[in-house]
Amino acid sequence: MGLEQKRNKKKGWSLDNPAYLAAGQVISAATNVPLDRGIRKLQNLKDASDAENEEWMRVANALGWAKWELEWQKDKPKKKSSKNKFKNNINFSKIKFKNKMKF
């Protein structure tokens, strides 16, 4: 058994178990019953009741935004652009071509 499967078995009947959302999405696709939306709403309400979140996050969770949509990540350092990597150092004015094609 993989590590994720062991974690999911430990979670058991918890709403954090991704197996419920996956099953809800399959049922929703097969029968057009929005079970996955109900599961997401229950997860949002659970996150809204979490005292560690700020008030505005709790209100937004109750209104339907997921916890991952509300969390801000710190700015990551910007990587150097790839423009400098492929610099054009060829001077085409000095190249002499033997045959000139006419169209």
pLDDT in tens, 5-58: 776 667 667 777 888 889 999 999 999 999 999 999 998 898 889 888 889 989
85 falls within a domain: no
Q: How confident is the model at residue 73 (pLDDT cuts 50, 70, 90)?
A: low
Q: Does 82 reside within a domain?
A: no
Looking at the domain assignment, is residue 22 inside a domain? Answer: yes
Its pTM stands at: 0.55
Torsion region of 60: left, alpha or beta (phi above 0 gives left; psi -120 to 50 gives alpha): alpha
Show the tokens assigned to 38.
């109900």
Q: Supply 12's token pair.
A: 């058991």
d(CA 43, CA 65): 10
CA angle 59, 62, 66 (to 5 degrees): 100
Q: Which domain holds residue 15?
A: 8-70
How many domains, the chain? 1
Domain-located, residue 61: yes
Is 78 part of a structural domain of the chain? no
Q: Which of 48-52, 61-65, 76-80, 83-87 has the lowest mean pLDDT?
A: 83-87
Q: 31 in a domain, yes or no?
A: yes
